[in-house]
């Protein structure tokens, strides 16, 4: 059940609160609006989070609530590229926390946050721990590209993300720009010395914002990634529901 498409009466079961008990878990997609090179849209991470969430909800053997996606995340590292939006980790954590609190207020106190952006990972881990420890909701973050088994490089706007787009929204990939994307991109994320990444912003090491070679991307690999991510998410949902946790409610 997608909250944005349901009515409140659908959700409440015509006022019978017991119906809500049929739904065990809520999925909350979170993404970003940030540069993804010259060939992929600014909304790539949000689109990926929404698509993986939908695939996981379909693969799961049971009903889940799907919340609308949070579209702006912790992306200041891409601030030099036009169109990138960002919020501070404090604001992001607060927004995720209060959104999960409102899900929990309706009884959905098992929550998987489905993440599409690497820059959100640290803040999500912290806020999900807080919600769990406080007894608000048992909440875990799932970052799709960390969950999948793939030989493709994640990079940034690289083979993995571009493949996913080819499988889900191919019209959003500017194929005529893939050569340029590869030519001006970086081979790896960051500038490293003694185990330290010297660069705080992607513009310092990736002229056009790309890391990895998106010419290695194709639809077939994207489908495989999506299948894998959806299966892994469905498995996680089952474990999250079964896990012992002490509600503070």
Binding stretches for Zn ion (CB under 5 A): 44-45, 161
Residue whose pair of structure tokens reads 């875990």 in the numeric block: 140
Angle between helices 159-168 and 44-59 (to 10 degrees): 60
What values do phi and psi take at 197, rounded to 5?
Answer: -85, 110
**Smallest separation, CB 170 to Zn ion (Å):** 17
**Smallest separation, CB 44 to Zn ion (Å):** 5
Q: Which is nearer to Zn ion, 44 or 168 (CB)?
A: 44
Structure tokens at 212: 């990895």
Q: Which is nearer to Zn ion, 12 or 169 (CB)?
A: 169
Select the residue whose beta carbon is closest to Zn ion and give its number. Answer: 45
**Smallest separation, CB 36 to Zn ion (Å):** 6
Asked whether the beta carbons of 4 and 11 are under 8 A apart, the reply is: no
- Distance of alpha carbon 38 from alpha carbon 15, whole angstroms: 49
**Smallest separation, CB 91 to Zn ion (Å):** 20
Strand spans (E) along the chain = 25-30, 64-66, 110-115, 138-143, 192-193, 196-197
**Smallest separation, CB 34 to Zn ion (Å):** 7
Q: Which is nearer to Zn ion, 60 or 144 (CB)?
A: 144
Asked whether the beta carbons of 87 and 73 are under 8 A apart, the reply is: yes
Q: Which is nearer to Zn ion, 46 or 99 (CB)?
A: 46
Asked whether the beta carbons of 209 and 182 are under 8 A apart, the reply is: no
**Smallest separation, CB 162 to Zn ion (Å):** 10
Q: Which is nearer to Zn ion, 130 or 177 (CB)?
A: 177
Q: Which is nearer to Zn ion, 45 or 77 (CB)?
A: 45
Indicate if the alpha-carbon torsion angle 85, 91, 92, 95 is positive or negative.
negative
């Amino acid at each position: 059940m997608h909250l944005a498409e349901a009515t409140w009466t659908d959700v409440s079961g015509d006022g019978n609160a017991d119906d809500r008990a049929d739904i065990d878990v809520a999925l909350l997609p979170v993404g970003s609006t940030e540069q993804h090179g010259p060939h992929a849209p600014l909304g790539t991470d949000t689109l990926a989070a929404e698509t993986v969430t939908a695939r996981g909800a379909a693969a799961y053997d049971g009903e889940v609530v799907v919340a609308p996606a949070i579209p702006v995340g912790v992306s200041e590292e891409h601030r030099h590229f036009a169109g990138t939006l960002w919020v501070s980790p404090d604001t992001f954590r607060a927004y995720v926390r209060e959104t999960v609190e409102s899900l929990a207020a309706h009884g959905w106190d098992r929550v998987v946050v489905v993440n599409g952006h690497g820059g959100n990972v640290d803040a999500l881990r912290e806020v999900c721990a807080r919600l769990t420890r406080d007894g608000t909701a048992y909440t875990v973050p799932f970052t799709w590209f960390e969950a999948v088994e793939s030989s493709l490089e994640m990079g940034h706007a690289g083979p993995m993300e571009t493949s996913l787009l080819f499988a889900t929204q191919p019209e959003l990939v500017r194929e005529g720009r893939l050569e340029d994307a590869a030519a001006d991109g970086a081979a790896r994320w960051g500038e490293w010395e003694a185990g330290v990444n010297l660069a705080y912003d992607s513009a310092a090491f990736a002229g056009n914002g790309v890391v990895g070679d998106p010419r290695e991307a194709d639809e077939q690999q994207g489908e495989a990634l999506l299948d894998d991510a959806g299966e892994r998410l469905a498995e996680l949902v089952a474990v999250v529901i079964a896990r012992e946790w002490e509600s503070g409610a």
